[in-house]
Chain A
Amino acid sequence: MFTATPRNRRSYRVQNVARAAFFLATVALVIPVLIIVATLAVKGGPAISWEFLFTPPRDNLTAGGIMPALVGTIWLVVVALLASVPVGVAAAIYLSEYAPDNLLTRTINLAIINLAGVPSIVHALFGVGAFVLFFGAGTSILAASLTLAVMTLPVVIVATRESLQAVPPAFREACWNMGATRWQTIRKVVLPNSISGILTGVILEVSRSAGETAPIMFTGATAYIVFLPQSVMDQTMALSYHLFYIATQQTGVPEELTFGVALVLISIVLLMNAVSISFRVYLRSLKKW
């Protein structure tokens, strides 16, 4: 009676094989990441110093620090955020809370998903055509940031829409039944309970904008400029483009320097993601239902 049938034993063996396969896939995923981070830390670590972070490059980029690139990346990301967050959040609110479920809305949603899949070099060329030339922004922080904003807009929209839709419909109905308008409902109930997801999307966008090279290389980034940008109409250095340039376009750059830039860049991205994750965990702990 109480013995395993052959069928039981077979299920058990299959289960063990499946678990091993999934575990190996996970290991295969983690190992390259560890190798990259370890290599960067070992080879680039010695280059990191206050002087490296806070002085401009010297001697045809073969010595000195990364200050203009670091500051330039911050400019690019902040301006991109200022452009994409208001538009993205507003569009997501419209799509999630107001738009009727019809062919047009579904087409727009599909277009947003497709926009997320467009290669960044295509966004770059769009940025050159639209912002640099057509709107006459020239190669500038403004043009580069707007290009980054267009590229990251789908991330903001999708993250916002998903966090809005995570708020139970019953809350909305309860408000509507009390005579609240859609906007009153959004402002008093929906947004306060979805802000965590929206902020997470925004932070993810920051890390993505900081790391992208293609969208800024033709629109506003420059290889070498010692001055810090004074306005959004200036060109600027940026970490990602600086890395690309000294690694492939410039000879005589010490390896340590290249790895140092890569280490700073990946640290910024990882830091942003860590902030995003801990923020999400924190806000989830405040969740009210």
Chain B
Amino acid sequence: MRHYIAKRVGYSVLSLLLLSLTIFLFIRLTGDPASLLTEPGASAADVAAIQHKFGLDRPVWVQYGLFMFNLLRGDLGDSFYYQTPVLELYQSRLPHSLLLGVVAMGFSLVLGIPTGILAAIRVGRFWDSAGKLFALLGLSLPSFLVGLLLILFFSVYLEWLPSSGSGTFWHLLMPAFALGWYFAAAHMRLTRSSMLEVLGSEYVKLARLKGLPEALVIGKHAFKNALIPVLTLAGINLIQMINVAVVVETVFAWPGIGRLLYEGVTFRDFPVVQGVVILGGSMIVVVNLLIDIVYALVDPRIRLEQ
């Protein structure tokens, strides 16, 4: 197992390196990184300072070394607009994103798991078809469109919910639903297929042969097993959500990381854009690694592997 974990850690470090290299190279590919890294209309002295900090007049590999050196120190540069370090901005926005992500995840699981189970135990019949339609709509309705339609209905016509901002529970409802919507479809599909697989397993057959009532066969023996892959995906998706939330957060003016990215793009605040991408990608690599390690600790087949 130690070997397995070492290998996974190695791959993750490699992924992080490649990520940073990708981002570094794309910035250099434009030909004029200084114009991206300095404020529009910056003074000659500012430009010179940036050129010195990133070694823009030196060979590319030195530049990459400096880039990595700054990254590892946690220095992602300062925001032009807010005049504060990007890392601080990111940290101040993260709780909002997490809150939105967790509630959206709740929505998606509450919607996705029961419909997925229903579709699986009624496979080929009405509820299965209804589930398929729901999954299809989930994948075909972009979350920002769902968000706009929700605003139109609940804020403009019914005047029940605030259309933007944050602070109260009511502010959270629509963005969370809009964000959870897409993932609900994904969770429904996975629940269905994983439930179908479990229902075909020998232990579910044995549970039936034991003479257990169907409710117990599904509720106890099938449910728990079918849920494992869904919860794994949900774990990965929670991080995805925080990063994908950019359109939903923009629609509802929710002060999370997605909104920060949008602001970065709109104000041409390049350090912010770069920081959000690097931190987002790193978070996903690290979370994937953690999930793999937890699996290795839990699953005897990996645990016992030498």
Chains A and B form a bound pair: no
Write the residues of chain B forming the contact surface with A, with a CB cutoff of 8 angstroms.
Answer: none
